[in-house]
Chain A
Amino acid sequence: DQQVKQNSPSLSVQEGRISILNCDYTNSMFDYFLWYKKYPAEGPTFLISISSIKDKNEDGRFTVFLNKSAKHLSLHIVPSQPGDSAVYFCAASYPYSGAGSYQLTFGKGTKLSVIP
């Protein structure tokens, strides 16, 4: 059962406009959420994160919104640039359980294409 879902496999946006990437989760035990960006044949790059005690976190052109009641988060990129074209993964983690680390559960990713 997929606990983190990114229902849009792809998204195309014009340069300069807003990109909105969505992510839904099913497990209410998740308390921390992260977005990663991945170029082909490279490792994922950490972008931005948000704790479940917040509803918004902003870093430059990137803003993540969390709606806990809807179990939904979104990543806004404003303005979108051609270099933002990549696959974006949403990830979630549980509170530390003593297992020795925080495990991440990833969504399947959304491929963003920013058209010049």
Chain B
Amino acid sequence: DTEVTQTPKHLVMGMTNKKSLKCEQHMGHRAMYWYKQKAKKPPELMFVYSYEKLSINESVPSRFSPECPNSSLLNLHLHALQPEDSALYLCASSHFPSRNEQFFGPGTRLTVL
């Protein structure tokens, strides 16, 4: 299995909703990442987990809450989002620490109304 999967593919939520994005990989990768990508922009790093521990938080607002239940799963919990948070949310994983290459999932297209 050489894939990173993400669910759901699309999500529409109101500003008062609570929702979660899910990411899964079975490549034995020990680093997992959340990125946010706006149209015509490069991916922006949000969080990094290595060995199931949060190692990097790029000053992301607390309305985004990551969770790594085990080495294969990564969640992003969303609460009280703003319309400007609408974006493509990408999960990635890498064979840390031996390799730099990150492998991305297909993303979740999030729309906040």
Does A101 lie within 8 Å of B101, measured CB to CB?
A: no
With the chains together, A108 CA to B40 CA distance in Å?
8
- Binary CB contact string for chain B from 1 to 32 against chain A (1 if under 8 A, 0 otherwise): 00010100000000000000000000000010
B79 interface residue per 8 A CB criterion: no
Distance (whole angstroms) from the CB of A20 to the closest CB of chain B: 20
Tell me whether B97 is interfacial, beta carbon within 8 Å: yes
A99 to B97, CA, bound (A): 11
* Distance of A21 from chain B, by nearest CB (Å): 14
Please give the distance in Å from B53's CB to the nearest CB on chain A: 7
Complex CA–CA separation, A43 to B6 (angstroms): 10
Number of A-B contacts (CB under 8 A): 72
A103 contacts B107, C-beta separation under 8 Å: no
Interface of B is mostly: strand
- A103: chain B residues at CB < 8 Å are 45, 48, 56
**CB 8 Å contact bits of B87-113 with A (1 = contact, 0 = none):** 010111010110011111111010000
Query: Chain A CB within 10 Å — which of B48, B51, B55, B102 has the most?
Result: B102
* Distance between Cα atoms of A59 and B70 in the complex (Å): 34
Q: How far is the CA of A93 from the CA of B96 in the complex (A)?
A: 13
Q: What is the CA–CA distance of A44 and B106 in the complex, to the nearest angstrom? A: 8
- Please determine whether B48 and A43 come into contact, CB atoms closer than 8 angstroms: no
Task: Kindly state whether residue B69 has any CB partner on chain A within 8 Å.
Answer: no
> When chains A and B are docked, how far (Å) is the Cα of A65 from the Cα of B75?
37
- Contact B105 A43, beta carbon cutoff 8 Å: yes
Q: What residues of chain A lie closer than 8 Å to B109, measured between beta carbons?
A: 41
B42, A101: Cβ atoms under 8 Å?
no
Q: How far is the CB of A81 from chain B (nearest CB, A)?
A: 22
Q: Which A residues are within 8 Å of any B CB, using their own CB? A: 32, 34, 36, 41-46, 49, 89, 93, 96, 99-104, 106-109
Measured CB to CB, the residues of B under 8 A from A are: 4, 6, 31, 33, 40-43, 45, 48, 50-51, 53, 55-56, 88, 90-92, 94, 96-97, 100-107, 109
